[in-house]
């Protein structure tokens, strides 16, 4: 069984638009940052419609959000309403707030925010973020409010950034191995959360009265070297380096009218357009790379050898701190990550 993840219902123009003027376990990786906080607000409809499964569904959604909190370090708050409807007419869906900026403002923010090797490739010579507007000035460029906060285009705030909605009548697995005939709820929740974060294509469609609208992620769609795929079409891939390297195939929205920046069918992945039953749909490395280049600061784990030196250094530092603490009655309190 395959189920379509109809994240944005673009044909119904379900966009919310606003205009802007402008310890205990030793692992070989860096610790999670507490700065990136995704806060859900579960509606009464979610609780009522999921019934006896509500607590499990809430926990699975929070686990999905924690994937992004762990892998990105932006010091911002992302605030998402989580709704539930009865029946199966909705599988997974997201609505999100959008801000409008000039291409040059958006591009400058990406340059200022570049921190990883992928960021540097994207904004550098031969990267997908071109010096001039690829629409020749005819397009309108949008980012989600959470993405705008990550890029420093708007201040951090506690206002709602979007809504994720799920059909409670669908057969879901909320934790553990995904049972045959059921769908991975955490993977679906990750899909919808990532759309609120900015993983959505507008791809030349109309937003409100704004024709020729595009989202930041549309900059990374290519059919080949130096050949963009800004509007829906076949053979469009995610690329950081101006189409030289095609990293993963996007869904052909020209053929099915669905989301332009979901992945095409293939390897099980949370960001796919369609979800198979009985399988886990993880957030993959290429998924994280995609969010990294559209404005989020990815936490990159060190190479194994570097991690060993890091751990040895931390151990030595811990020894020094223990010696100092023996002379003091004051101990620092480190708040755990929220998630």
**The two three-digit tokens of residue 28, written as one number:** 């070989």
pLDDT at residue number 310: 39
Whether 338 maps to a domain, the answer reads no
Say whether 206 sits in a helix, a strand or coil.
strand
Whole-angstrom Cα distance, residue 78 to residue 151? 13
Report how far Cα 37 is from the mean position of its chain's Cα atoms: 13
Whether 313 maps to a domain, the answer reads no
Number of domains in the chain: 1
pTM: 0.83
Whether 337 maps to a domain, the answer reads no
Looking at 124-163, list the stretches that DSSP marks H as alpha helix, in order from N- to C-terminal side. Answer: 145-150
Whether 218 maps to a domain, the answer reads yes
pLDDT < 50 regions, the chain: 7-16, 18-33, 304-339
Whole-angstrom Cα distance, residue 16 to residue 96? 6
311-328 pLDDT, tens per residue? 334 344 344 333 332 222
Whether 107 maps to a domain, the answer reads yes
**The two three-digit tokens of residue 222, written as one number:** 């290519």
Burial class (CB in 10 A: 0-12, 13-18, 19+), 181: exposed
Domain span at residue 37 reads 2-22+30-306
pLDDT at residue number 257: 86
């Amino acid at each position: 069984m395959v189920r379509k993840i109809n994240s944005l219902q673009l044909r119904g123009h379900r966009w919310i638009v606003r205009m802007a003027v402008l310890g205990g376990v030793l692992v070989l990786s860096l610790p999670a940052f507490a700065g990136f906080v995704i806060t859900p607000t579960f509606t009464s409809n979610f609780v009522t419609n999921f019934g006896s499964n509500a607590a499990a569904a809430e926990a699975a959604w929070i686990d999905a959000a924690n994937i992004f909190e762990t892998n990105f370090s932006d010091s911002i708050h992302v605030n998402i309403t989580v709704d539930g409807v009865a029946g199966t007419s909705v599988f997974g869906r997201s609505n999100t707030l959008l801000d409008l900026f000039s291409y040059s403002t958006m591009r400058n923010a990406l340059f200022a925010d570049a921190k990883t090797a992928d960021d540097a490739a994207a904004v550098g010579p031969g990267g997908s973020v071109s010096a001039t507007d690829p629409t020749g000035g005819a397009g309108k460029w949008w980012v989600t409010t959470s993405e705008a906060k990550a890029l420093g285009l708007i201040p951090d705030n506690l206002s709602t950034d979007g809504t994720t909605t799920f059909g409670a009548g669908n057969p879901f697995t909320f934790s553990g191995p995904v049972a045959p005939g059921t769908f991975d709820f955490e993977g679906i929740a990750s899909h919808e959360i990532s759309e609120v974060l900015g993983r959505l294509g507008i791809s030349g469609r109309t937003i409100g009265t704004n024709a020729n609208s595009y989202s930041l992620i549309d900059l990374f769609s290519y059919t080949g070297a130096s050949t963009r795929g800004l509007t829906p079409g076949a053979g469009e891939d995610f690329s950081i380096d101006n189409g030289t390297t095609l990293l993963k195939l996007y869904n052909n929205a020209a053929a099915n009218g669905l989301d332009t920046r979901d992945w095409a069918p293939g390897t099980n992945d949370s960001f796919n357009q369609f979800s198979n039953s009985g399988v886990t749909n993880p957030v993959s490395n290429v998924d994280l790379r995609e969010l990294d280049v559209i404005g989020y600061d990815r936490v990159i784990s060190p190479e194994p050898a570097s991690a060993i030196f890091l751990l040895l250094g931390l151990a030595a530092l811990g020894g020094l701190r223990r010696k100092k603490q023996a002379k003091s009655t004051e101990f620092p309190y480190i708040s755990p990550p929220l998630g």
